Each structure stands twice: as C-alpha cells, then as structure tokens.
Structure 1
C-alpha cells in the first residue's frame, strides 16, 4: 500500500509541516547540553504536548523527537545502547497523537546527522554510517512512523548512507539539507548539486529540500534553485523563524507569525509542496502559515527582490552557483535543529 505522505501529495497542492523541536523543548525546561531524546521516556507528556501543538495549529505532518537519536550522538550521554528504545518511544507517542487527530496526519521519523565527519575527509566509514542510520530507522519503524525524515544534512556521503539504510529498513523517506554557507551546505553542496544527488540515488526520497540554514529568505533562494535545476520531485521548505538573538540566556528567533505567513506563501509560489518551519517556529507561527496558505491564491514564482522585500536581506550575495563561487569558511553547527 502506498504510504500516507504519498497519498496526501497526490490529492493536495501543499502540506503544512511542523515547526521547531528544540525551541519548544527549551521552553518546556530542557537544559542546554541535555539529550532531548531521553525525554521520550522520561517526560512523554511533554513530547505529546510538543506534537499536539503542531497538530492543533494545523500541521499535516510532524517530526518525531529523535533528531539526535543515533548511536554516535547518544554516546555523548552514555545512551548509545538505547537507540531503538528511544526512537521507538518517539514514534509511538507520535502515532498516538496522529491517530487521535481526527484527520490524516503523517508521523515523520526525524533522523539528523551523525555528528561525525565521513570518509575520506573524516573517519566515519560508509558502512558504519549505514549501520547507525539503519538502527535508528528500525526503532522509528517499530514505533509506527509513516515515513523517515532525514534533515539538516551537509555531506552528500552522509545523505547516501542514510538512503541506503532506509532502503534496508524498507521505509519510505524524505530528506533535507541545510544550506547555511553562502548558498551551500557546510560541505559545499549547492541547490543544483542536491538535485543531482537525489536523482542519482537507487532509493530516492519521496520529497527533498532544505531546512534550517541562515534565514527564510536564503532558504527560498535555494528552493528557487531546485526548480531552476529541473527538480521534479516534491520540494520541502522548512525555514527558520527569523534571525536568532540571545535573550535572557536563551536563543530566540525574531520572526513574527505574520512574517512566517508571508514566507509560507512565497515558499508555495516558489514551488515547495511541503512547507513548515525550523528553528524558532512555534504553533502560533504555524497557525498563521496555514491560514495564509488556505486563503491566499497561488501566484507566480517570486523574484529575489520580492523575497527580500517580504522577508529581509539575504545573508550573502551569492547562492553558491555563480562561476568561480567559493563556499565561505566552514563552521560547526549546533547538535539540534529548531
């Protein structure tokens, strides 16, 4: 039987995804440096509330609290032997919330990067990466996830390893990369490069796209780049809610619900079929995004000038594809999305 996400995409022009996981959990009391995946068994009520917040705001799809749920990440918290347990719990809570929604809602099993650098640049082998991703995928599958959702990936090698692992698990999947370095991922992938990567996989995703990065405007420039490169698969856009600011000991994002509503409409017009938010995006943002998508007619693809007029300036002049363009110096990412 065709998976739920594919069935929804056959009948809907767009789907609303969820918002931030990390931002929301910090507001619930998660401390910096703690593993949010442990809350799947220690505080399931809070994870249930996280998921319900997205569903109640109108999301057609939400990601499980399992972004860092692989053995390499969990080893930092002496929990590397609990991969299947924690991922299964994340998906089981999600299954409960989705089944009680009264409408079709997709439970997407979140899979983030391993945190290691893959060979030949680093020491993580392809085989070891596949094994890590496969272990996590099996836990999410056991818990009842509808699809797997790879996100915030920078390296094509890691994307390929995850695709192989998901095929081994027999699960449909989606996958996004984070374009946060002058139009490129941290490891140098451009929007056209991602289209080429996806189409060359033996087990391609249902949908692909971009999440996180440096801001909503930059992300939409990347989405336009997918279309210009000839992408035919459904595109995902999950942009941050504005720009991060450090306030009272925590990171806060300055994007208002009104700004994210503009972003959602522009993302749809740029060609995205699955539209959500990443860091800083709360239920209030999602509700305004849904309202805008439902009430505003689809328009032509926006120009770059229209994007910046609505969402603010790009963080760099380059989208990474100009002749001779070089990626900016690499920088380390936070372990969490959202």
Structure 2
C-alpha cells in the first residue's frame, strides 16, 4: 500500500474527487473542437487554475487535463508526436498544485478512450490499444501522477487494454465506464458486467465505478447495481451536474450546487468511497458537495425511490440488468469527456 490513493482510502470513509475539465476550460476560453491537452503547454496558468479550483473547493483527488492525450485522439489535431510531452506537462502542473496544497491531494492521470472501435467490430487490436495507453501512461508517470485514472470507457476490451498498459507502466490505476444508454455503456456493458470484469483482471484497479452518463439519478442507479453484485472494491461515482441543455448557443448543465450536494450524500450513504462530479460540475458545486459530506450524518443505503425523489426521475425504465433489459432501446453514439 505505497500509493497515495490507497493510503487515503485506508484512513478515510470517503474521498472527494474533482468536477468537470471541459466545462471549466470552455469558461476560460477554450474553443469547441480544440484539443484541451494543448493548453498544458500553451496556457499552463489556466491549467493550474483548473487544478487549484478543485483543490480549494475541497477535492482530495483531481484529474489531469489529459483525457484525450493519446496518440489516436491527438492525431486529429496533428499532435500525435507529442503524447509523452503533453501528458508529462499535464501531470507536472498537477503535481505542483497538489504539493503546494499543504495536505495529501492525489494527482490522477486522466486516460480517456482512444476514440476507435476495438476488434472484432473495429480495427483497433488489443496489442495496439495497449501500446496507445502505455505511451500515455509513461508520460503521466514521468510528470508525477500518483495514479492512472481510466474514464468514460464503453468497451470491456478497451478497459482490459488500459489495465494491461497500467501494469506495463507499473502504475496503480482506477477505471470508470460511462453508462449512458438505458443503463448500459454505448457498447452494451451493464453495471453487473463491470463489477464482474474488474475481479477477473490480472491487474485489477484500486477502485472502479461510473462517470458521466446521463444525470446523477441514472448514475446512482448504476452504483446500486455495483453493490448488488456484492463488490468489496472501492466504488467511484462521478456524475454530471444535471442534464445538458442547449441555451444561447451553448451546452449548459441544469444541476445546482444543492442538487449535487444531495447526490454526494446519497452516493456516500450508498457506500461509494470516491465521490466527484463530471460534466458541468464547477467549483461551486464541489464546495456544496464537500460541505454536505462533512456536515450531514450518514444515513441508510438509499433506495431507487429515494434517489428519484431527491435527484429527479430516471431517463429509462431499466438499468440494463433486469428481465426487461433486452427490450431497452440501444443507441450507438459517441461521447467526449
């Protein structure tokens, strides 16, 4: 138990992660379609401000600005030759902020999906996926990341490749999937599938869970699905701040700080050990979440009715694991972090 995240988990009932990366950077002037990772070298003070905002709001863990920092994604911007550099700098800026905080703050190296379809449905082989993830992992390791944070994954094959890459880099890791299609990931994985998958990996994650998706209610239903499988591994919940809406030419999230505070308390009471936000989650949401987690007494594990009454209704009738799961409409759509 030498890594910082494992030490914190051993000493605390819950840890608070950070919020959105993209939403915060768009508010700083990042243009839609641009690669956020390029700001690690081009706008380092903005990235420091991103990290500092999470730490000052009470986060124990924050993710680096490297979600799309793999060769496959950076190739879209002609930057596939800068993987090691951009990840190293993204992590080093995080290390600087964490070390100046005066407390233990975990720098989690964000590793998003490749954006490619894994074989046999697509052309991305397991071996190439491992190489892509490994290159990114080595850059994050060089920059001083404490742990790799694999997130927003849809395919079990890609999750397995990321796990192998973490082992190759000799880095501890965590891994979350995005359950956004009637309780399943875009590639059909259910909460039960992921809970089973992580225990079969040769190199299982420190913690696993769900991020992004549809809204806080749906994510909490997925979390209950993990616990229904009897998992004893720490669970992560990083839900969006409400539901995205198009307003005045931009995507905004309707979740208030009060809503996210309710979500954080429900997640803690459900047994989640690492609680954070995803898209739309700003420092003001994080401050409300931290205050609620520290001030409100722990309650019983919430039911589905508790979740829907406090966070809003679910976007689908099924979470993908029941007898009616096969009738759930399955969409195929991409998602960016």
Tell me, yes or no, whether TM beats 0.5. Answer: yes
How far, CA to CA, are the matches of 1:12 and 1:280 in structure 2? 27
How much does 1:324 deviate?
4.7
Aligned to 1:126: 126
Listed as ranges, the gaps of 5+ residues in structure 1 are none
Q: What is the number of residues matched between the two proteins?
A: 336
Q: Mapping of 1:1-338 within 5 angstroms?
A: 2-326=2-326, 327-335=328-336, 337=337
How much does 1:265 deviate?
0.2
What TM-score comes out, normalization by structure 1 length?
0.98
How much does 1:328 deviate?
2.6
How far, CA to CA, are the matches of 2:300 and 2:76 in structure 1? 47
How far, CA to CA, are the matches of 1:254 and 1:324 in structure 2? 30
Q: For 1:43-97, what per-residue CA distance to the aligned partner results, in whole angstroms no more than 9, with x for missing partners?
A: 0000000000000000000000000000000000000000000000100000000
How far, CA to CA, are the matches of 2:324 and 2:216 in structure 1? 25
How much does 1:331 deviate?
2.8
Give the SS at the match of 2:325. coil
How much does 1:334 deviate?
3.1
How far, CA to CA, are the matches of 2:151 and 2:281 in structure 1? 16
* TM-align CA RMSD: 0.8
Q: Is the 8 A contact 2:241 2:260 kept in 1?
A: yes
Listed as ranges, the gaps of 5+ residues in structure 2 are none
How far, CA to CA, are the matches of 1:6 and 1:249 in structure 2? 43
How far, CA to CA, are the matches of 1:212 and 1:235 in structure 2? 15
Q: Is the 8 A contact 2:182 2:330 kept in 1?
A: no
What TM-score comes out, normalization by structure 2 length?
0.99
